[in-house]
Structure 1
């Protein structure tokens, strides 16, 4: 099969490699679409170690083969693979929090991912979901980790309410997803970015106001727009500046949602204004993936056109174009979501 193979930091090569094999519990997927995610960029740029040579965790496709023990799928089924996979045995899985599974069965980390023409998904009955017929593969790939994580964060973790003021720092994939989801819930949404193209896309996805932080102090602008501060802030990037700006944009009693993970510069640590947060009862909340039982709710809203992840897709690309997208991510030049649909 064709695959994009990581040979070293910032070196990815399209080459022919053996197709993966499944065990009795696995499902072999012919990959039809895979989203290019900033989490992939973190691996490519060297922020995280290369565990699998073939990464990619935002994919969907068609079932090619099933193991003897698989009950819920057959050859030809259209499926999507939520990136937060699970094994069903740990205390978190038993409690319903499958996205926190101790086994962390994530494509591109625990097994080879969606930048290959075929993917062998372990424990297929648990880790694949039937894809609605009216949802295209490209749009489904846009549901990848960014959209499902934003959905779980905005809906389940910070519980955004109609009429609340929500500010989102970083209008990349996660940020645009958060903007779109919060807007669909009736919130007043502010999008902040340094890229005018991202800002324009944020408006199309439901942002009521936008701020270019290269030209304005975003914290002061948010406080002026909201008459004192936002109810909810979202850091969709993970750098010190966006994290602190999010916290400082909140009113008393506000909730900060941390979605973005740090780069090599922060190395996992950001100093936050604890005293201010205590004195003003500001909450710091995190989110990762989505529990399996919540995915059906997300898919239902997409199928009913209440949520439209396809609006984020800037372009469908070839596998050979992925490294160029990573390079643009390094310079914050990308707008929207890019989806690999051509593996030739």
Structure 2
């Protein structure tokens, strides 16, 4: 099969023929119809995240936002069949640990990060293997396409989990989204669908225009604003109820926290790069005095995807609306390089292998 293989960090991926996977007894093989190109892939391409145990090695196939059709099924699989149209979470659980058994498969004790570790080759390829398929496979509704669902395995569902579960948003709440890349735009769209008023913050007017199209009530160009938190508090009559750092740098994290009102909730979705090395400085005393909560959001338990699909079925949300462009497998390296300077818009998706 054809796959885009990492040979050296920061260098173009090698699009080449590699051995096709076969399913283990509890796994399945999925023919990839589409796979999102995520900023997390950029981190893996750069060789970052060693502090998380996720530093990629030469020979790794990246790609962790796939959707497609099952083409081969292991003998112990019970709930997945050949031909099923499916999405694959990037946090592959084993289905047996306490986290998985209590509905928190996204934080499985024995998780494998799809596309980042040798044991879980990714989906910038014609075929991808999914272990523990009865736990990890998510069946897609008939009405959706693989391209529309390609961002579902990471960015869209992480934003959904952050807003709907980690910091539940109520109708009429003010929600600020700092960073309007793929996950940030997903958060704007989801917050709007949940009935919130959204302030979208970015440095790029084109991304802010897209945020407005996806439901942002207000947009704020941080490059043209002297003090982002003060501006947000002015727009929201005292501060947001919920605020998201969708980028993972100190400036956006602090601005997110400082733009909250009393008893607000900050949701950290963006992971850091080598410059931060996994650590961000936060205004902890202010958080104590204003009883501000700080929560993280990682993926979505497979058992809760139906919440998204019910909203898709009633036209409340549309994951495909966040897709920015579709490209071929040979174009993945160019899109990763463009992410170095935040030059991609929405979610780029590979749909030609």
TM-score, scaled relative to structure 2: 0.95
Residue in structure 1 matching 2:56, options 15, 34, 50: 50
Paired with 1:261 and 1:335, the residues of 2 have a C-alpha distance of: 19
Trace 1:110-259 onto structure 2 (pairs within 5 A).
110-216=119-225, 217-259=227-269
Q: How big is each residue's C-alpha offset from its partner over 1:83-102, in whole Å with a ceiling of 9 and x where there is no partner?
A: 22211221211222111101
Aligned residues: 343
Partner residue in 1 for 2:277: 267
Partner residue in 1 for 2:4: 4
CA RMSD of aligned residues (A): 1.1
Residue in structure 2 matching 1:93, options 93, 100, 124: 100
Partner residue in 2 for 1:37: 38
Note the C-alpha offset of 1:182.
0.7
8 Å Cα contact 2:169-2:242 kept in structure 1: yes
Paired with 1:323 and 1:313, the residues of 2 have a C-alpha distance of: 18
Partner residue in 2 for 1:330: 340
Q: How big is each residue's C-alpha offset from its partner over 1:264-298, in whole Å with a ceiling of 9 and x where there is no partner?
A: 00000011111111011111111101112211111
8 Å Cα contact 2:153-2:299 kept in structure 1: no
Paired with 1:78 and 1:91, the residues of 2 have a C-alpha distance of: 28
Q: How big is each residue's C-alpha offset from its partner over 1:109-161, in whole Å with a ceiling of 9 and x where there is no partner?
A: 34111101101111111111211111011001022300101101100011111
**Helix, strand or coil at the partner of 2:332:** helix
Note the C-alpha offset of 1:232.
0.9
8 Å Cα contact 1:252-1:281 kept in structure 2: yes
Partner residue in 1 for 2:287: 277
Trace 1:264-343 onto structure 2 (pairs within 5 A).
264-343=274-353
8 Å Cα contact 1:34-1:340 kept in structure 2: yes
Paired with 1:228 and 1:77, the residues of 2 have a C-alpha distance of: 49
8 Å Cα contact 1:135-1:303 kept in structure 2: no
Q: How big is each residue's C-alpha offset from its partner over 1:203-236, in whole Å with a ceiling of 9 and x where there is no partner?
A: 1111000001011132121011011111111000
Note the C-alpha offset of 1:44.
0.6
8 Å Cα contact 2:138-2:302 kept in structure 1: no
| Unaligned segments of structure 1, at least 5 residues | none
Paired with 1:320 and 1:135, the residues of 2 have a C-alpha distance of: 25
Paired with 1:112 and 1:221, the residues of 2 have a C-alpha distance of: 44
TM-score, scaled relative to structure 1: 0.97
Paired with 2:290 and 2:324, the residues of 1 have a C-alpha distance of: 40
Paired with 2:25 and 2:211, the residues of 1 have a C-alpha distance of: 44
Paired with 1:88 and 1:71, the residues of 2 have a C-alpha distance of: 13
Note the C-alpha offset of 1:106.
2.6
8 Å Cα contact 1:194-1:214 kept in structure 2: yes
Partner residue in 1 for 2:80: 73
| Unaligned segments of structure 2, at least 5 residues | 50-54
**Helix, strand or coil at the partner of 1:297:** helix
Q: Which moved more, 1:70-79 or 1:156-165?
A: 70-79
**Helix, strand or coil at the partner of 1:141:** coil
Q: How big is each residue's C-alpha offset from its partner over 1:3-60, in whole Å with a ceiling of 9 and x where there is no partner?
A: 0100011121111111112111110111100000111011112213115610111001
